[in-house]
Amino acid sequence: MGIVYDSISQTFHLQGKSSSYIMQLINSKYIAHVHWGRRVRGSNPGGLLVRRRRCSFSPSTDPDDLTLSLDTLPQEFPGYGASDFRVPAYQVQMEDGTTVSELVYESHRIYAGKSPLTGMPSTYVEDENEAESLDIVLADSVIGLKVILTYTVFRDLDVITRSVQFLNVGNRSMKLLRALSFGIDMPSSDFDMLHLSGTWARERHIERRPLVTGGSVIESRRGSSSHSLNPFVALLSKQADEDHSEVYGFSLVYSGSFVAQAEVDPYGTTRVVMGINSFDFSWLLEPGQTFQTPEAVLVYSAEGLGGMSRTYHKLYRTRLCRGHFRDRHRPILINNWEATYFNFNADKIEELARVGKELGLELLVLDDGWFGKRDNDKSSLGDWFVDRNKLPQGMPDLVNRVNQQGLEFGLWFEPEMVSPDSDLYRAHPDWCLHVPGRRRTEARQQLVLDYSRQDVRDYIVKVITDILASSPITYVKWDMNRNMTEIGSAQLPPERQRETSHRYILGLYEVMERITSAFPNVLFESCSGGGGRFDPGMLYYMPQTWTSDNTDAVERLKIQYGTSLVYPISSMGAHVSAVPNHQVHRTTPLDMRGHVAMSGNFGYELDLTAFGEADKEAVKGQVVLYKQLRHLIQFGEFYRLFSPFEQTTAAWMFVSEDKKEALVAFFQVLSEPNAPLRKMRLKGLAPESNYLLYDAGNQDECVEIFGGDELMHVGLHLPIWKGDFRSHLYRLIMEE
């Protein structure tokens, strides 16, 4: 493992667990991309790159070397205006209006460990021996611009992280019009592109399509990473599937508007760029100032999508998420939202807690409606003071009553929003994002607070701190229920108005850092109408996310399956809700709802007090089972078996790191008449060991004993069921 620089061939060789990433200096000036893929020894890295002369429409950069054209050279951080016609990774505008820039190599530095990004979330190391980093300094001496490309390679993972810092070392201001986190030119276009798309209640569905000549773009212009498209893309070899062949993943550690593009040029190479969306973005860089891009995480897998996912899971769970709960069990909770909506009082919440404790639950979460005059979604956001009509004795009394029932207490906030009908808005109408003279578009009867302002950030930190310090609150659900419109700030000058959206995200990160640091023993869960901001940037501050407002078991199969492409199971909130389901009005059995929700951070979102004795006993059984299995579910290795996007069944499994234990979940959405016999091949087991097979709901009696090789290469017989919406959990224990 490590980073090796060969001064003779002027090559940089970054070596991960089983992969290599190689770059070469051309004419001691330009950084060219040579190889990213399976690990090589590096016997002749300087001989791996071949150039050839093209026609005059790809002009030669050096008149003495007609094979060198920036339009065809595979580059690491391409610019605009100096003979490369492909999509750039950066663009800068000078005071005279010109936008030509050309960066050339100046120096580099190799060092142990990994440095944090100032004011930005990023992956990290706990020991400098876990990773090695490389800074490559590029410069445009004509305009006084320096750019530092930072690479980190992790010792035990096939991961390269990349980020960029821009420095104005001249004596004149310049504007960044485009400042992406990386560029990379792949030597082929024989790929499929995979990404995650959707909308509210239908997040992160998998889409795969071939690359074609020209650009394939996914992006958000909403001011957040969004329900619609997730800040992740992958390039897959044509043969790649869940377990085989090469996959290249690109994930952005950022929560705002983003862009990811794969552009195929006329010569069959593919340029991938990713970062802050340049649409409606610019950044004034005055002399002496710097600008830091978000971090991008690049993963190589020779073992298909499954190998890529497990790499992202391990990295994000252990070296992106932080804090007290990173490696701890997540509590089983009851959330009152779908049980009561806004119609509750202290007695009702206490009764929910009493029944929850009877059923074995550990945490009660009070959702929207506890503050201001919040009897519906039309008022009071921003007025973070307890509604004494609902809670006449205040928050400490309610928390105490829930604690006396034996449950911990959690609370919902939506701190980034303000209702026009609120005391906060009446006092500070300029505190929201707005443009003078334009209407203020409302969504869900609310506006977006201007987190680019320090006074707004300080107010939010104070009011939330006051609430959290008033009582032993151990969980916070942080919601955000609309995207940005009329993006402008009353405190920014005209030349900086297009910085507002990114400054908002930086302000949000500051607020989250201050609050989560002040309350390190509180479990924070992010939410944005469900999964509208399920991104790596949020996981840095809050180790789990409410996966979707859609709690229907059938829909959740796709949502949770798609989410698992990038995000660890420990980051996914999943609840059992009432039927008919509130989002799609489908009725599914309690068993299936439980099995789907138990495939994440488990909880309930319904009125437990309305349960009959049979349902209560079933819930008790689910809770007992989850407590036995949650370490495996939340922290085991995850394998996808059957895709709900491809058939009317779904299956996945969790395997402990030592391979001694596994849990398999199988779901039948629709039954089939006179169905053929089918088998389910398992994954991730020790082939030389034997496994005792149990019905997970009845772990006192072994059903059969199978070899790990038999389970993986022959498979388990699937049940033949009549009826839709059926599920089963299998538990495997390695024979001593």
Q: Which residues are catalytic?
A: 479, 549
Q: Which amino acid is at 435?
A: V
Nearest to 549 by CA among 570, 571, 579, 528: 528
Look up residue 678 and give its two tokens.
């089918």
Cβ-contact 223, 504 below 8 angstroms: yes
Rounded CA gap, 154 and 436, in Å?
Answer: 48
**What is the SS3 assignment for 103?**
coil
Length of the chain: 736
Residue 12, judged by CB atoms within 10 A of its CB (0-12, 13-18, 19+), counts as buried
Q: How many other C-beta atoms can be found within 10 angstroms of the C-beta atom of residue 205?
A: 17
Rounded CA gap, 235 and 445, in Å?
Answer: 40
Rounded CA gap, 719 and 627, in Å?
Answer: 26
Q: Who contacts 415 (Cβ-Cβ below 8 Å, separation ≥6)? A: 384, 449, 460, 464, 478, 511
Look up residue 61 and give its two tokens.
């950069």
Look up residue 527 and give its two tokens.
């939410």
**What is the SS3 assignment for 605?**
strand
**What is the SS3 assignment for 462?**
helix
Place of tokens 């008022």: 379
Q: Alpha helices, DSSP H only, in 281-407?
A: 304-319, 337-340, 346-358, 394-404
Cis bond before residue 187 (omega within 30° of 0): no
Cβ-contact 573, 325 below 8 angstroms: no
| Paired strand residues for 655 | 637, 662
Rounded CA gap, 195 and 264, in Å?
Answer: 17
* DSSP H/E element including 616: helix 613-635
Rounded CA gap, 597 and 556, in Å?
Answer: 8
Nearest to 256 by CA among 43, 537, 46: 537
Core vs surface per residue 222-253: b (16+ CB within 10 A) or e:
bbbbbbbbbbbbbbbbeebebebbbbbbbbbb
Rounded CA gap, 415 and 460, in Å?
Answer: 7
Q: What distances in angstroms separate CA 516 from CA 385, 402, 491, 520, 578, one per listed residue?
A: 20, 23, 27, 6, 32
Cβ-contact 257, 224 below 8 angstroms: yes
Nearest to 181 by CA among 167, 165, 168, 164: 164
**What is the SS3 assignment for 119?**
coil
Rounded CA gap, 490 and 498, in Å?
Answer: 12
